[in-house]
Chain A
Amino acid sequence: MLTPAVLRDNVPFLPPIRNTDKLLQSREKLGGRISQTSKVRPQSRGRETESSSPMEDDSKKYSLTKDEVALFRNCHKQSVCVDMLRQGYHRSFSELLALLHRWNATRDASERGSDIWEQQPLEEQDHKLDQLCHFLTRAEAAQRADLYEEVYEHQVSLARYFVEPEDKWLSHHFYESSLVTARKVKTDRGRKEAEANSNMGHVCTERGQLETARAHYEAFHHLTEGQAWRDEAGQALHSQACECLWRIHTLLADRMLENKDYRPAIETLTKAFQMAREGGDKAVEGKAAYRVGLAYQSAGDHETAERYLNLYMDISTVLGDDESLGTAYKAIAKSLESEGKLGESIELLEKFVEVSQDESLKHNLEEACMCLGVFFCSRGQYDKGCQHFERAYEIAQHLNSVAVLQKAQVYLGTARACMMMSAYSSHVAEARNVDSCKLVVWKETRNDMFNQADAEKTIDDGEDSRVP
C-alpha cells in the first residue's frame, strides 16, 4: 500500500554511480590486499568465497562481496567473532569474548604505566585470536558430538600454545577447563583426568598455591595407581606422579622449616620420602632420605636422623655418586658429633675427604677440610685445625668463589689467633724481661714468634696471620 518515502527535497539519496572503470580499479587494489590477508586465514577465506560465489555472478565484476567488505571495514576481532557465530559456535564466541574482557579488566584494574599497559592488547594480536578461534571451534564441535577426548586434546593444545610469560593466565585457564573436560571422559579409565591433574599441579605450583597443587598431584597419583601408562617419552606416569608429589611435599616442608615448625615438616618430608621410594628412582629416594635426616637433625633427634642418613649413604654408595656420598658423610658426622661420638665422627669426616679427591669434587674437598678444621678448633686442637683450614684455603683459591674464599680466610685467621692466644697470655702473665721483649717485637711485626724460643726465624708473613 505504501511506497517507501520519497525524500521531501528532490536530492537523490545515493550518489549516481557511472564510472565503473574506477570501481574496477579499486577492486583490483583491494583484491591484492585480500590475497595477502588470505594467507593468514586460509580456512575462513576459502569458505567465504565459496558462499559468495553463487550469489551474484555478474555483479561480482563490479563490486566486492559483503564478506570482503566486512573484512576491511571491521577489526580482526570482529571478523573472528562473526566467523565463529556464523558457523553456530556460540560457546566459543562467548568464551573468546569473556577472555578478551578479562584481559581488559585486568589491565584497567592495574595501575596505568605498569607492565600490562606496555603489552599489545590481546584483541589486537591477530595470530593469537586465530589460534583461539581455531581450537575453540574444534573443541565445541567435538563437544556437540560428545567426543570429550577430542575436546580435551584441543584445550591442551591451546594451553600449550600460550607459553609466553604474559600469556600464562591463558594457559592456566585452558588447563583448568581441560581438567573439567577430562573428568567427563569415561572411556580411558581416567588417564586424561590424571594428565589434567598433573598439568593443574604444575599450574598451581607456578602460581605458588602449594596446597592446591598437592591436592591435584594426589589425585594424579591416585589415578595412576596400578596402571602401566607411559607418556610419549616412555616414562611411567605413576612414577612421575610420585616424583611430583615428592617435590611438592619437599616444597611444603621447606616453608614449614622456615617457620621452624619441625614436627609437621618432618611428617611432610617423611611423606615425600615414601613417595620417592614408591617412585622407584634411587637418586630421588636418596635425596628424600637426606632431607628427612636433616629435618630430624634440626629437631634434635640424632638417632633417627642417622638412620635416614645411613640410608642415603647406602644409596649413594650403590649409585657410586661420590658427591652425595660426601654430603651423607658430612651430615652423619655432624649427628655423631652432637651425640658425642667424636671418634666415629672424625673417621667419617676423613672418609669425606677421601671420597672427594676427584678433580670435579674440589668444592666438596674444601668443605670437608673446613669441617675437619672446625671440628678440631672447637676441641682446642688449634694446630690441627689450622692445618685443615690452610688446606681448605688453598683449595678455595682455585674455586672462583669469593664467598667461599672469604669464609676460609676468616676461619683460618681465627684459628691462628686462637693458637697464639695461650702463648701470648703466658708471656704477659710471666712478665720477665725476655717476655716483654718478645711482646714488643710481636707488637712491631705482628708475627707469631712466641713459640720459637729465641730464634729470630720468621714464619710466613701472609696477611692471614695478622690478628686485628
Chain B
Amino acid sequence: MSANINPLANPKGANKVCELCEKPAYIQCTKCFVTFYCGKEHQDDDWVAIHQKVCQLLIPVRTPVPYYTLEAEREQHYTQILDRQKLLMEISQRVAEKKLFEKRHKESLPAALLSLHSAMDIYGTSGVQLVPAYLLLAEANIGLANLSPAEQYLSWADWTVVRTPDCGRTVRHKLHRCMGRLFIVKGDLEGALFHLANDIYYASEQYGQDSIVTCGGYYLMADVFFRQRKMDIVNSLYTEVANTWHSHLSRLLEKHIENTITPEESFDEAQQAEADQMLRSLLDVPDGGPKQQPAQSAALAHSLGILWLLDGDPEKALEFGRRALGYCQMVQDCWLTDPICRLLHLAEEGLDAAQKGSPDSPPCPSAPPEHQRSALLS
C-alpha cells in the first residue's frame, strides 16, 4: 500500500510534502500515487480518517493538466476538475462533522484538513467558504486539547469573516460558538460569555428564538455561569433549554404520529447522542447544582422518553416515561400528565410490536396507562 520515495530523487521544483504535517515526504500511497506522507503513522491516520473514502477521487484532481489544443477542451477539463474538487470538499466536510459528533476528534482532523485544502484550491486563500473548514479544524483541536492550533484556526476564520462584511448569520453564529467553546476550555469565562452572547444573537436572528440551535448556545452559556457559581442564572437558563427541547420534541412526536416528519427534522445518530447527553446532564445535575423543580424534571424526562421513542427504542422510552410520571405526581395538577400517559401508551405499543417480531422473548402483558399510574401511585 505504501512505497518509499526519496525526497532527493524528486524532480526539481516538485516538493512532495506530507498530507498531514507538510514535512518532506518519504512514502506515497500506491493506490492513487498522488498522496504523500512523512511516515507510516500519518498514512494510517489519514487512511482511517478520510483517505480510504476519497483515494480514487484525488487522482484526477492532483494529476497535472494534460495538454489540450482546443480552448473548449481546456475549459471542459477545468470545469470537471472544479466539480470534483467541490465533491471532495463536501465529502471530507461531512466525514469530519460526523466524526466530531461521534467525539472521534483525532480522526476528524485529517478529514477537516482535506476539506480546508480543497476549499483553498477552489476559492483561494481568503474566501468565506473556508470558514466551515477552519471551524471544523478548530473544534477537532479543541477536542484534542491542542489549544494553540485551535486558536490559530479560529483567528483565521475570524479574520476571513471580518473581511467579508456581507457573510451570512449562520457562519457568524458558528464562528462565535466555536470561539465560545475555545474560551471555555481556556478558562477565560468573560470572553466565552462575549462570544456565546454573539452566537445566541445571530442564531436567534437566523433560526428564531425557540430553535434548538439557539438552545445549544444557552446550554453552553449555562455551563459558563455554572463555573462562575451564578446559580440563579444557571437555573433560569436550564429552564429555558428544557422548555425549548420539550416543546421541540413534543412537536416532533406529533409529526411522527401523523407521519409527516421530514428528513431534515429527524435526528441522525450523532445528534441523537448529543441531545441525549445534554438532556441527561440537565436531568441529573451534579451536587451543588441548582435544585430541580419536579415539573421541570418531568418535562426533561418526558423529552428523553420522546427522544428514545423517535429513535426506535421503546424500552428506554418506557423507562423515562415512568420516571417523568413519577416527577409529575410530585406536582399538583401537572398539565404534563396526559402527554406522558400517551407517550407510555405509544412506547408499550412499540414494545409489543417488537416482541411479536421475536417470539423467543417471554410474553409480557401490556398494561394500559391507567394501570401504570395506579401502580406508581401505590
Interface positions, chain B 173-214, Cβ under 8 Å from A, are: 190-191, 193-194, 196-198, 200-201, 204-205, 209
Nearest Cβ in chain B — how far from A62, in angstroms? 16
**Bound-state Cα–Cα, A78 to B199, Å:** 11
List, sorted by A's number, 25 A–B pairs whose CB atoms are closer than 8 Å: A1-B45, A1-B109, A2-B110, A2-B149, A4-B152, A5-B117, A8-B120, A8-B121, A9-B125, A14-B159, A81-B197, A82-B197, A82-B201, A83-B197, A84-B197, A85-B221, A86-B194, A86-B197, A88-B233, A90-B221, A90-B236, A91-B240, A93-B204, A94-B204, A144-B232
- Chain B CB within 8 A of A441 CB: no
| Contact A5-B116, Cβ < 8 Å, known A85-B221, A91-B236, A144-B236 | yes
**Bound-state Cα–Cα, A375 to B21, Å:** 113
- Chain A CB within 8 A of B20 CB: yes
Contacts of B200 in A (CB 8 A): 85, 90, 93
Residues 68-97 of A, flagged 1 when their CB comes within 8 A of B and 0 if not, give 001001000010011111101011011001
- Chain B CB within 8 A of A109 CB: no
Contacts of B344 in A (CB 8 A): none
Docked-complex contact A1 and B225, CB < 8 angstroms = no
Interface size for A (C-beta < 8 A) is 33
Helix, strand, loop or mixed for chain A's interface? helix
Docked-complex contact A97 and B233, CB < 8 angstroms = no
Docked-complex contact A2 and B113, CB < 8 angstroms = yes
* Contacting residue for B209 out of A6, A7, A70, A94, CB 8 A: A94
Docked-complex contact B194 and A82, CB < 8 angstroms = yes
Interface positions, chain A 51-69, Cβ under 8 Å from B, are: 51, 66-67
Docked-complex contact A2 and B237, CB < 8 angstroms = no
**Bound-state Cα–Cα, A192 to B65, Å:** 81
Docked-complex contact A11 and B236, CB < 8 angstroms = no
- Chain B CB within 8 A of A98 CB: yes
Docked-complex contact A4 and B137, CB < 8 angstroms = yes
- Chain A CB within 8 A of B33 CB: no
Docked-complex contact B221 and A88, CB < 8 angstroms = yes
**Bound-state Cα–Cα, A84 to B221, Å:** 13
Docked-complex contact A85 and B230, CB < 8 angstroms = no
* Contacting residue for A78 out of B45, B121, B201, CB 8 A: B201
Contacts of A14 in B (CB 8 A): 159
**Bound-state Cα–Cα, A81 to B201, Å:** 7
List the 4 closest pairs (A to B, CB-CB), nearest first.
A85-B197, A88-B233, A82-B197, A144-B232
Docked-complex contact A3 and B209, CB < 8 angstroms = no
With both beta carbons as reference points, the residue of chain B lying nearest to A80 in the complex is identified as B201
Contacts of B110 in A (CB 8 A): 2
- Chain A CB within 8 A of B101 CB: no
Docked-complex contact B20 and A2, CB < 8 angstroms = yes
Beyond A85-B201, A91-B240: 20 further Cβ-contacts under 8 Å? A1-B106, A2-B20, A2-B110, A3-B22, A4-B152, A4-B153, A5-B22, A7-B125, A8-B117, A66-B194, A78-B201, A82-B194, A85-B196, A88-B230, A90-B200, A94-B204, A97-B209, A98-B209, A144-B233, A145-B232
